[in-house]
C-alpha cells in the first residue's frame, strides 16, 4: 500500500480530539441506529443468504440486540463517562484525585460469522461510546453480510473515524501487524491465541470472546419439560451455530427418558415434521462445516434427526444418546445442530467430568434446589451462568458477557463494554501553596519515628 496503515489514518483523527466529547459519541450512536434502520432490508437479506436466518431471527438476534445496546449506551453514557472522585492520602494534601475514563484510541474489532452483524456492531457501540475510533473486520465466511455491513458503515461514518475492511485470515493478520490501542476479538480459541500473540508485540490490551463447549446440567428435581423446551430453543436457534448454545447435556439418569421425550416433542412443536421447510430453522454456514458436523453423527445413538442434505447445507435437529465421553463430539466444540445427552447417577460424577475440561463460556443448570446451585457454582468455573434457562444471561446490556480461560478474557455489553474500551486514567492534582518538607532528604525523622507516624496516619 502506498499510503499510511489503516490504524495510523484513524489515529490522526483520534488525536484531533473530535471523538472525546460525549455529544459527539451520542451523535454517532444515533447515526448508527438510523443506519441500521435504513439498511435493515439489505442486512436481513444478507443474513438469510449466508445463514438461512429468517427476518424474525435476524431482527431478534442481530439488529435488535445492537439497537438495545445503542439505547442502553445512549441513556447511560453521561454517567459512565463522568470522572469519578477519589480520596487522596493526607501527605499530599491539599489535593484532588479522580478517575478519568479515557478512550484507548484506535480499536480493532474482529468478528465471527455466526452472528455476523451483532457480534461486530455491539462491540462497535461500546467502542464509540467510550470515544474510540474503530476498524472493523467482518468474517469472510458470511460474505454477503460482510458486504452489507461494510456498505452500511461506509454510509454511516466518516472513514477517518470508523472503517470496515473486508477479507479473510490474511487481511486480519496484516491488520494485527499494525499497532492498535485495543483489540476486541470474537471467534475461535485457536485464532484467539494468535490474536493475543500478535497483540503482545505492541502490548495492546485485548478482549477475547472465544468458544468452547457449554454444558447444561439437568437435575432430577428440575421441571424437566420446561428444561427440555428451553434447552432445545437455545441449542437449535441458528442451527446450533451459537457460541452460548448448550453444547451437550448431562441429565440425571432417572429423568433422562422423560427429558429426551420432552425435547422431541418441543422440537416437533418448534419446527414441525420437516424442519427443512421451516422458515425458522437455519442452515450450516458452508460445506466444510457441514462435513465436520456430519462426521459427528456416528458418535452416538441418533434418537432424533440425523437427516442431512449437503446440497442445501441442512442438518436436522439431532439428539444423540449413548455417547462415550471420549468420542470426538465430546471433545470439540460442536457448533451445529447436534446435541449429545449423557446420563449421570450422582451429581459428583457430572461435576468431575466438567472440572476436567477447559472453562466454558456458559454453564447451564436446571434445578429447584439452591444448595445444588451453590455447589455447582462453587465447583465448576465458567464465563457466565444461567440457572433454569439457557442463553438469556447474555441478552441485553445489564450483565457483563464474556468468557474465562479457554473461553476468553474480558467482557462487554452495557457498562462492561464501555469499560472494555476505556482506560481508567488516574489523575491527582496538588495545590502549590503548601509543600510540607518531611519527604525531602536529608531525613530528620528516625526509622522508628517514621513507622509510628505511618501507623497513625497511613491507615487511611
The values of phi and psi at residue 211, to 5°, are: -105, -150
Q: Rule CB under 6 A: say whether 168 interacts with ligand NAD.
A: yes
DSSP string, 83-127: -EEE---GGG-SEEEEEEEEE-SEEEEE--SSSTTHHHHHHHHHH
In the complex, the smallest distance separating the C-beta of residue 171 from ligand NAD, rounded to whole angstroms, is 7
Give the H/E segment covering residue 134: strand 133-137
Identify the bridge partners of residue 164 per DSSP, sorted by sequence position: 136
Q: Which one of 187, 215, 246, 360 is in contact with ligand NAD (CB under 6 A)?
A: 187
Q: Which one of 39, 53, 72, 137 is in contact with ligand NAD (CB under 6 A)?
A: 137
In this complex, which beta carbon is closest to ligand NAD, that of residue 300 or of residue 383?
383
**Residues 339 and 235: beta-carbon distance below 8 Å:** yes
**Residues 139 and 88: beta-carbon distance below 8 Å:** no
**DSSP E strand stretches across 359-421:** 362-366, 384-387, 408-409
In the complex, the smallest distance separating the C-beta of residue 401 from ligand NAD, rounded to whole angstroms, is 7
What is the C-alpha separation between 284 and 293, in angstroms, rounded? 9
Question: Interaction with ligand NAD in 58-97: which residues (CB under 6 A)?
Answer: none
Q: Rule CB under 6 A: say whether 337 interacts with ligand NAD.
A: no
Q: Which span sits near ligand NAD by CB under 6 A: 22-30, 171-179, 274-282, 293-301?
A: 171-179
In this complex, which beta carbon is closest to ligand NAD, that of residue 176 or of residue 376?
176
Q: How far apart are the first and last CA of the chain?
A: 56
Question: Interaction with ligand NAD in 381-420: which residues (CB under 6 A)?
Answer: 403, 408
In the complex, the smallest distance separating the C-beta of residue 182 from ligand NAD, rounded to whole angstroms, is 16
Q: Which one of 139, 163, 308, 359 is in contact with ligand NAD (CB under 6 A)?
A: 139
In this complex, which beta carbon is closest to ligand NAD, that of residue 259 or of residue 364?
364
In the complex, the smallest distance separating the C-beta of residue 97 from ligand NAD, rounded to whole angstroms, is 36
- Burial pattern 12-41, b for ≥16 Cβ within 10 A else e, equals ebbeeeebeeeeebbebbeebbebbeebee
Q: Which span sits near ligand NAD by CB under 6 A: 190-198, 221-229, 342-350, 443-451?
A: 190-198
How many angstroms separate the Cα of 209 from the Cα of each of 24, 68, 304, 361, 420?
28, 20, 32, 9, 12
In this complex, which beta carbon is closest to ligand NAD, that of residue 191 or of residue 320?
191
Q: Which one of 68, 135, 210, 339 is in contact with ligand NAD (CB under 6 A)?
A: 210
The dihedral region occupied by 313, where left means phi > 0, alpha psi between -120 and 50, and beta the remainder, is: left
In the complex, the smallest distance separating the C-beta of residue 64 from ligand NAD, rounded to whole angstroms, is 17
The values of phi and psi at residue 86, to 5°, are: -135, 155
Secondary structure (3-state) at 186: strand
In the complex, the smallest distance separating the C-beta of residue 305 from ligand NAD, rounded to whole angstroms, is 21
Secondary structure (3-state) at 32: helix
Q: From the candidates 178, 209, 333, 419, which is the catalytic residue?
A: 209
Kindly give the interhelix angle for 22-38 and 118-129, rounded to the nearest 10 degrees.
160
What is the C-alpha separation between 23 and 78, in angstroms, rounded? 9
Residue 243 annotated in active site:
yes
Residue 219 annotated in active site:
no
How many residues does the structure list for the chain?
460
Binding pattern to ligand NAD, positions 230-269, x when CB under 6 A? -------------x--------------------------
Q: Rule CB under 6 A: say whether 199 interacts with ligand NAD.
A: no
Q: Rule CB under 6 A: say whether 186 interacts with ligand NAD.
A: yes
Size of residue set near ligand NAD by CB under 6 A: 30
In the complex, the smallest distance separating the C-beta of residue 76 from ligand NAD, rounded to whole angstroms, is 22
Contacts of 433 (CB under 8 A, 6+ apart): none
Q: Which one of 100, 150, 166, 188 is in contact with ligand NAD (CB under 6 A)?
A: 188
Name the residue number minimizing CB distance to ligand NAD: 211
In this complex, which beta carbon is closest to ligand NAD, that of residue 103 or of residue 192?
192
Q: From the candidates 156, 243, 386, 419, which is the catalytic residue?
A: 243
Q: Which one of 4, 34, 41, 169 is in contact with ligand NAD (CB under 6 A)?
A: 169
Residue 406 DSSP label: G
Active site members: 209, 243
Residues that bind ligand NAD (CB under 6 A): 110-114, 119, 137, 139-141, 168-169, 172-173, 176, 186-188, 191, 194-195, 209-211, 243, 333, 335, 361, 403, 408
Amino acid at each position: 500500500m502506498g499510503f499510511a496503515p489503516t490504524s495510523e489514518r484513524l489515529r490522526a483523527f483520534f488525536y484531533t480530539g473530535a471523538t472525546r466529547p460525549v455529544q459527539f459519541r451520542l451523535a454517532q450512536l444515533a447515526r448508527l441506529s438510523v443506519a441500521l434502520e435504513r439498511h435493515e432490508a439489505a442486512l436481513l437479506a444478507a443474513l438469510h443468504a449466508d445463514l438461512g436466518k429468517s427476518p424474525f431471527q435476524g431482527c431478534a438476534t442481530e439488529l435488535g440486540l445492537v439497537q438495545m445496546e445503542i439505547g442502553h449506551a445512549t441513556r447511560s453514557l453521561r454517567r459512565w463517562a463522568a470522572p469519578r472522585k477519589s480520596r487522596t492520602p493526607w501527605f499530599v494534601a491539599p489535593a484532588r484525585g479522580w478517575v478519568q475514563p479515557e478512550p484507548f484510541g484506535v480499536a480493532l474489532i474482529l468478528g465471527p460469522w455466526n452472528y455476523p452483524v451483532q457480534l461486530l456492531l455491539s462491540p462497535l457501540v461500546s467502542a464509540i461510546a467510550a470515544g474510540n475510533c474503530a476498524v472493523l473486520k467482518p468474517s469472510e465466511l458470511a460474505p454477503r453480510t460482510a458486504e452489507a455491513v461494510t456498505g452500511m458503515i461506509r454510509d454511516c461514518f466518516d472513514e477517518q473515524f470508523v472503517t470496515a475492511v473486508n477479507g479473510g485470515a490474511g487481511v486480519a493478520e496484516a491488520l494485527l501487524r499494525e499497532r492498535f490501542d485495543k483489540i476486541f476479538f470474537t471467534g475461535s480459541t485457536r485464532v484467539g491465541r494468535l490474536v493475543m500473540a500478535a497483540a503482545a508485540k505492541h502490548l495492546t490490551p485485548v478482549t477475547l470472546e472465544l468458544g468452547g463447549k457449554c454444558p447444561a446440567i439437568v437435575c432430577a428435581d428440575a421441571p424437566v419439560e420446561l428444561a427440555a423446551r428451553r434447552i432445545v430453543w437455545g441449542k437449535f436457534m441458528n442451527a446450533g451455530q451459537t457460541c452460548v448454545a448448550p453444547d451437550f447435556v448431562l441429565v440425571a439418569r432417572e429423568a433422562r427418558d422423560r427429558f429426551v421425550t420432552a425435547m422431541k416433542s418441543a422440537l416437533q412443536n418448534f419446527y414441525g415434521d420437516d424442519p427443512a421447510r421451516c422458515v425458522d430453522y437455519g442452515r450450516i454456514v458452508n460445506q466444510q462445516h457441514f462435513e465436520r458436523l456430519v462426521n459427528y453423527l456416528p458418535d452416538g445413538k441418533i434418537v432424533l434427526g440425523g437427516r442431512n442434505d449437503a446440497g442445501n447445507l441442512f442438518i436436522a435437529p439431532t439428539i444423540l444418546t449413548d455417547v462415550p465421553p471420549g468420542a470426538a463430539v465430546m471433545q470439540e466444540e460442536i457448533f451445529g445442530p447436534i446435541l449429545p445427552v449423557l446420563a449421570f447417577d450422582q451429581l459428583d460424577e457430572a461435576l468431575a467430568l466438567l472440572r476436567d475440561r477447559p472453562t466454558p463460556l456458559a454453564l447451564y443448570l436446571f434445578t429447584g434446589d439452591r444448595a445444588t446451585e451453590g455447589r455447582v457454582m462453587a465447583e465448576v468455573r465458567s464465563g457466565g451462568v444461567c440457572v433454569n434457562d439457557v442463553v438469556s444471561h447474555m441478552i441485553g446490556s445489564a450483565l457483563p458477557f464474556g468468557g474465562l480461560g479457554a473461553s476468553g478474557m474480558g467482557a462487554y455489553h452495557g457498562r462492561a463494554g464501555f469499560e472494555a474500551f476505556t482506560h481508567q486514567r488516574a489523575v491527582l492534582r496538588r495545590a502549590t501553596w503548601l509543600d510540607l518538607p518531611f519527604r525531602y532528604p536529608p531525613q530528620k525523622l528516625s526509622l522508628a519515628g517514621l513507622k509510628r507516624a505511618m501507623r497513625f496516619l497511613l491507615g487511611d
